Structure 1
Amino acid sequence: MRRPYTLIAGDFVDTGGMDRANLALAHWLARQGGPVRLVAHRVADVLLGYPNVRFVRVPKPGNAYLLGEPLLDAVGRAWALRTRAEGGCVLANGGNCPVPAANWVHYVHGAYVSQPAGGALRRLKGRVSHRVYLRGEREALRRARVIIANSERTREDLVAATGVPASRVRVVYYGCDAERFRPASVEARRAAREALGWSESRRVALFVGALGDRRKGFDTLFQAWARLCARGDWGMDLKVVGVGTQREVWAREVEARGLGERIQFLGFRKDVPLLMSAADLLVAPTRYEAYGLGVHEALCAGLPALVSRTSGVAERYPAELDGLLLDDPDDVDGLVRRLEVWREHEAAWAPKVAALSETLRTQHWDGMAAAIADIMEREG
Structure 2
Amino acid sequence: MRPWVIVAGDFVRTGGMDAANHALARYLARSGTETHLVAHRVADDLAALPNIRFHPVPRPLGSHTLGFPLLDRAGRRVAKSLGGRNPVVLANGGNCRAGNAVWLHYVHAAYAPQVAGQPLRRMMASASRSKALRDERAVVRGARVTVSNSALTQRHATDLLGANPDSAYFVHYGSDPERFRPPSAEERAEARRGLGWMDDAPVVCFVGALGDRRKGFDTLFDAWTRLCADGSWDARLAVVGAGGELEAWRRRAAEAGLADRILFLGFQPDVRRVLWAADAMAAPTRYEAFGLAVQEALCCGLPAIVSANAGVAERIPESMHGLLVGDPDDAAELAQRLRAWRGSIHIHRDAALALSAELRSRTWDDMARLMTTIILEALS
TM over 0.5: yes
Give unpaired runs (5+ residues) of structure 1. Answer: none
1:224 is the counterpart of 2:235: no
Distance 1:191 1:47 in 2: 30
Where do residues 15-34 of structure 1 align in structure 2 (5 Å cutoff)?
A: 15-34=14-33
Match of 2:157 in 1: 158
Secondary structure of 1:326's aligned partner:
coil
Distance 2:321 2:51 in 1: 46
Where do residues 56-205 of structure 1 align in structure 2 (5 Å cutoff)?
A: 56-205=55-204
- 1:86-143 residue CA offsets vs partner (Å, 9 max, x unmatched): 1332211010012351110000011011110111011101110110000000000000
Code of the aligned partner of 2:132:
Y
Match of 2:305 in 1: 306
Match of 1:4 in 2: 3
1:276 is the counterpart of 2:270: no
Q: CA deviation at 1:20?
A: 0.8
Match of 2:314 in 1: 315
Match of 2:375 in 1: 376
Asked if structure 1 preserves the Cα contact closer than 8 Å seen for 2:219 and 2:328, the reply is yes
Moved over 3 A (4+): none
**Number of residue pairs matched?**
379
TM-score w.r.t. the length of structure 2 is: 0.97
Q: CA deviation at 1:46?
A: 1.1
Code of the aligned partner of 2:15:
G
Match of 1:263 in 2: 262
Code of the aligned partner of 2:275:
M
- 1:243-291 residue CA offsets vs partner (Å, 9 max, x unmatched): 1011011111111111111111111112211211111110001010000
Distance 1:355 1:83 in 2: 46
Code of the aligned partner of 2:107:
V
Q: CA deviation at 1:353?
A: 1.6
Distance 1:271 1:145 in 2: 38
- 1:210-239 residue CA offsets vs partner (Å, 9 max, x unmatched): 010000111111111111112211101111
Distance 2:248 2:367 in 1: 39
Code of the aligned partner of 1:207:
F
Distance 1:358 1:311 in 2: 21
Q: Return 65-74 or 172-181, whichever deviates more.
A: 65-74
Q: CA deviation at 1:347?
A: 2.5
Q: Return 345-354 or 368-377, whichever deviates more.
A: 345-354
- 1:272-319 residue CA offsets vs partner (Å, 9 max, x unmatched): 112111111100010100000000000000011110001000001111
Match of 1:337 in 2: 336
- 1:33-73 residue CA offsets vs partner (Å, 9 max, x unmatched): 33211011111111111232111111222211111111111
Secondary structure of 2:344's aligned partner:
helix
Secondary structure of 2:112's aligned partner:
coil
Q: CA deviation at 1:162?
A: 1.3
Match of 2:351 in 1: 352
Q: CA deviation at 1:343?
A: 1.4
Q: Return 232-241 or 70-79, whichever deviates more.
A: 70-79
Q: Return 173-182 or 86-95, whichever deviates more.
A: 86-95
Asked if structure 2 preserves the Cα contact closer than 8 Å seen for 1:114 and 1:126, the reply is no
Asked if structure 1 preserves the Cα contact closer than 8 Å seen for 2:239 and 2:265, the reply is yes
Secondary structure of 1:363's aligned partner:
coil
Distance 1:5 1:165 in 2: 22
TM-score w.r.t. the length of structure 1 is: 0.97
Secondary structure of 1:206's aligned partner:
strand
Give unpaired runs (5+ residues) of structure 2. Answer: none
Distance 2:58 2:214 in 1: 28
Distance 1:252 1:308 in 2: 27
Distance 2:91 2:56 in 1: 15
Code of the aligned partner of 2:234:
G
Distance 1:75 1:186 in 2: 49
